[in-house]
Chains A and B, each alone.
Chain A
């Protein structure tokens, strides 16, 4: 019997990178097939090929035994390929029903409404057709995507990191749905970073690394560590952290309690990297905002920077005290996408010496500085006059981190330093952060990536439901205790 779908030697090159290099990939009927790989391993490109958004340079797509070409998103849909995107392709200002009707190429009428309700009941995906999308949670939005895909009666359903935005309960419900779909004989492609989910759910896994298939295996037969090793290439070194030679406390927070966050105590010493772990949406944004001065603390003494009560200071005043900040959102928060790298260099450096002369900007100095940042931090770019938005995620992040690091800040606060960044850039950024701490600065890293925190941090604390736990040395934590702290209730956490 032929495979439902089989991709043979798919190759796709983008300028400067071979995104897919002779990739072979096959999905059977009644199978959940995991597609694994780091960011930039080529998963997205492969899925774009399948959904008709991009054409491969070479290679064959065989659908139910016939070689075909997928020329457009419509063609992909017509074949029977359904796609649930990681970044929802939804119309926020429209109702659930309208969104689904648009995906199906039909009119929203009573029959359609009945089908939506029927489908959502059958597969355990409760949805109100009249709800407006922008009022819904991420989990509900995902259900729209899934119902929309299912109403097209797909034989192959592709889910791109479907659990990254879900709560554990929502994820469990999703898995039940996916198993039901599998029983019906559909093929499913499950793209994920979460290896335990893959091991529990998927029959087979294809692992991509650097655009190539490195292995196809039965995930349940491997440990998460073995799979991770195949994905990353080298076994992650277990951390043995706990810094020596710590100096004075240069950043401290005491009794910062507001409506969205409660931090009894947090201290970062010279030479120390403090990590803040936590599941997304547990107050990371608020913590960052209070530390960076984007939100002012209720009292000046709640945040102390370099011995000064800075709680009521804005970002510029805090920068003047020797602090530097790297927010999570690269485009729009850390950098202005349509500004050049030179302009973006200036934005967080208005107070830097030499950038202004008698109130006018000294563009020559700023330009030299931007070049220095790019050269010093391995930012690959097409010229510093180019748009920041044209850089790849990894390069832009290196630029943003570099822009702050080049000032040798005494205190650095960084939120999700390597989120959505390729492996090479992530390693580079982490090395830079370690080097900064070694040179005697205090570094606070907020991250959802536990491996990253174990690698970087000397001291770890956990943010859960807006409550920051006590910090402990990293070596005292294990993945288990940390997992419990991240998911338990906040009060129990404080007691532990």
Chain B
């Protein structure tokens, strides 16, 4: 039985990590008073960029050489190539976010419109570039899978093996970032300024803080994290693979999580893992109760989307805490008063 628990936990990490990565990034963005609905788009662009980078960086060795022509190639990726492609994903995500930042911060475009535009742009651009980018059709491209972080026999270690040693690099990274973001927002001076800018941009400006600059930085951080989230979905699988719209709404779920978690990093984690666990539970429950009725089966499919919301709404009802954590200037364009 405990094997099953560990299996479910391990599987839930795979499902929760992209959510967590995207939500942590967007949390910082929203804490600075900006709402970027383009998370989904940034994930798609970043994911594709990571995939392209990994394809380009991977090394091929010929297994069958006839004359000078290589007939079958064996692709392989080492840890550095993998990290390199993650960096590319983060950079491209940050660049997409910077576009949103320029529109909303310097041209004072409406956040909602610009964010939705970014999502549409991200979906469209990744579809067309994924189909043909400098002559390569990435929907058909074969990319070697990512090497494990730890020696393979470590994964046999009970509990820690499947939960830690056989997981992708980004899983521990997402936890690290969660703690870092919490520490940054609540314990550092710069984090205090970010929160101040999100709470009341006019007061922050009057006190001499560079509102626009702070927001540009958080927006780009959010974009980088969304890019990593996309890359996780695309390349951190057994067989990395690009398909159109591969993120299937995870970006939107991340946005919703922040709201229901009332901008508290710990609750974003809770929400993301509730989602992951319930989603991981679903096929196993269906396997155990193979003769369940169709209605219940559909309900189980919907459950991962219902449980986190209900739980977070129930625990996050304290109006004082909401007032304390909700950024009051959220979604408002800043224009210095003359």
List the B side residues contacting A26 at CB < 8 Å: none
CB atoms of A73 and B207 under 8 A apart: yes
Contact among A74, A91, A105, A132 with B200 in the assembled complex (CB-CB below 8 Å): A91
* Interface residue? B67 (CB, 8 A): no
State whether the Cβ of A54 lies closer than 8 Å to any Cβ in chain B.
yes
Interface range on chain B (Cβ under 8 Å from partner): 20 to 34
Which A residue sits closest to B326, measured CB to CB? Answer: A93
Contact of A53 among B195, B204, B206 (CB under 8 A): B206
Name the residue in A74, A89, A132, A135 with the highest tally of chain B Cβ atoms < 10 Å from its Cβ.
A89
Q: Which residues of B contact A73 (CB under 8 A)?
A: 205-208
Which among A94-102, A178-186, A425-433 touches the partner chain?
A94-102
A106 contacts B208, C-beta separation under 8 Å = no
Known pairs A73-B207, A74-B208, A103-B207; A91 contacts B196 (CB<8 A): yes
A98 near B203 (CB under 8 angstroms)?
no
> Which of B192, B205, B325 is most buried by chain A, counting CB atoms within 10 A of its CB?
B192
Asked if B189 and A89 sit within 8 Å, CB to CB, the answer is no
A77 lies within 8 A of B326 (CB): no
| A72 interface residue per 8 A CB criterion | yes
Smallest CB-CB A-B distances: 4 pairs:
A74-B208, A89-B203, A91-B199, A73-B208
Out of B203, B207, B323, which one reaches A134, CB within 8 Å?
B323
Q: A53-B337, A93-B327, A132-B324 are in contact. List 6 more A-B contacts (CB 8 A).
A: A72-B208, A90-B200, A90-B203, A92-B199, A106-B189, A107-B188
Interface residues of A in 74-95 (CB under 8 A from B): 74, 77, 85, 89-94
Q: Which residues of A contact B (CB under 8 A)?
A: 51, 53-54, 72-74, 77, 85, 89-94, 98, 101-103, 105-108, 132, 134-135
Please tell me if B328 contacts chain A, counting CB pairs below 8 Å: yes
Give chain B residues whose Cβ lies under 8 Å from the Cβ of A90.
Answer: 200, 203
Across the interface, do B208 and A94 meet the contact criterion of CB distance under 8 Å? Answer: no
Main secondary structure on B side of the interface with A: helix
- How far, in whole Å, are A108 and B315 apart by their CA atoms in the complex? 29
A472 vs B195: C-alpha distance when bound (angstroms) = 53
Binding site for A on B (CB under 8 A): 188-189, 192-193, 195-196, 199-200, 202-209, 320, 323-328, 337-338
Kindly provide the distance from the CB of B190 to the nearest chain A CB, expressed in whole angstroms. Answer: 9
Contacting residues, chain B, for A72 (C-beta < 8 A)? 208
**A to B CB contacts below 8 Å, 19 in the list:** A72-B208, A73-B206, A73-B207, A73-B208, A74-B208, A89-B202, A89-B207, A93-B199, A93-B323, A93-B324, A93-B326, A93-B327, A98-B195, A101-B189, A102-B196, A107-B188, A107-B189, A108-B192, A132-B324
Q: Which residue of A lies closest to B188 (CB)?
A: A107
B206 touches A89 (CB 8 A): yes
Q: In the bound complex, do residue B196 and residue A94 qualify as a contact, i.e. CB atoms below 8 Å apart?
A: yes
A93 x B189 contact (CB < 8 A): no
With A and B bound together, what is the CA distance between A107 and B184 in angstroms? 12
Give the CA-CA distance A242 to B205 in the complex, in Å: 51
Which residues from B are CB-within-8-Å of A74?
A: 208
A102 and B193 contact, Cβ closer than 8 Å, known pairs A72-B208, A90-B200: yes
Checking A89, A93, A102 against B192 with a beta-carbon cut-off of 8 angstroms, the contacting residue is: A102
Complexed CA–CA distance, A216 and B323 (Å): 46
- In the assembled complex, the CB of A388 is this many whole angstroms from the nearest CB of chain B, namely 17
User: Which residues in A have their C-beta under 8 angstroms from that of B327?
Assistant: 93
B138 to chain A, nearest CB (A): 45
Contacts of B337 in A (CB 8 A): 53
Separation in Å of the B111 CB from the closest CB of chain A? 16
Q: Across the interface, do B325 and A93 meet the contact criterion of CB distance under 8 Å? A: yes
Q: Shortest Cβ distance from B337 into chain A, in angstroms?
A: 8
Cα distance, A94 to B198, chains bound together (Å)? 11
Contact between chains at A92 and B320 (CB < 8 Å): no
Q: With A89-B207, A93-B325 given, is the CB distance from A98 to B192 under 8 Å?
A: yes
- Measured between alpha carbons, how far is A54 from B336 in the docked complex, in Å? 11
CB neighbours of A98 from chain B (8 A): 192, 195-196
- CB pair B328 A92 closer than 8 Å: yes
- Shortest C-beta distance, A134 to chain B (Å), equals 6
Distance between Cα atoms of A286 and B30 in the complex (Å): 36
Would A92 and B208 count as touching, CB distance under 8 A?
no
B6 to chain A, nearest CB (A): 40
Contact in complex: A101, B192 (CB < 8 Å): yes
The distance in angstroms between the C-alpha atoms of A108 and B189, with both chains bound, is: 8
A311 vs B203: C-alpha distance in the bound complex, in angstroms?
42
User: What residues of chain B lie closer than 8 Å to A107, measured between beta carbons?
Assistant: 188-189, 192
A107–B209 alpha-carbon span in the complex (Å): 14
Complex Cα spacing A102 to B192, Å:
7
Task: State the Cβ distance, B300 to closest chain A Cβ, in Å.
Answer: 39
A293 to B188, CA, bound (A): 49
Question: B277: shortest Cβ distance to chain A, in Å?
Answer: 32
Q: Which of A89, A94, A103 contacts B195 (CB 8 A)?
A: A94
**Which of B188, B193, B202, B208 has the most chain A CB atoms closer than 10 A to its own CB?**
B208
Chain A residues near B203: list those with CB within 8 A: 89-91
CB distance from A113 to the nearest CB of B (A): 14
Which residues of the partner chain B approach A94 to less than 8 Å between Cβ atoms? 195-196, 199, 324
A73 closest partner in B (C-beta): B208
Q: B208 contacts A77, CB within 8 Å?
A: yes
Chain A residues closer than 8 Å to B205, beta-carbon distance? 73
Measured between beta carbons, the chain A residues less than 8 angstroms from B204 are 91, 102
A135–B208 CA distance with the chains assembled, in angstroms: 25
Closest chain A CB from B25 CB (angstroms): 21
Nearest CB to that of A98 among chain B residues? B192
B193, chain A: closest CB distance, angstroms: 7
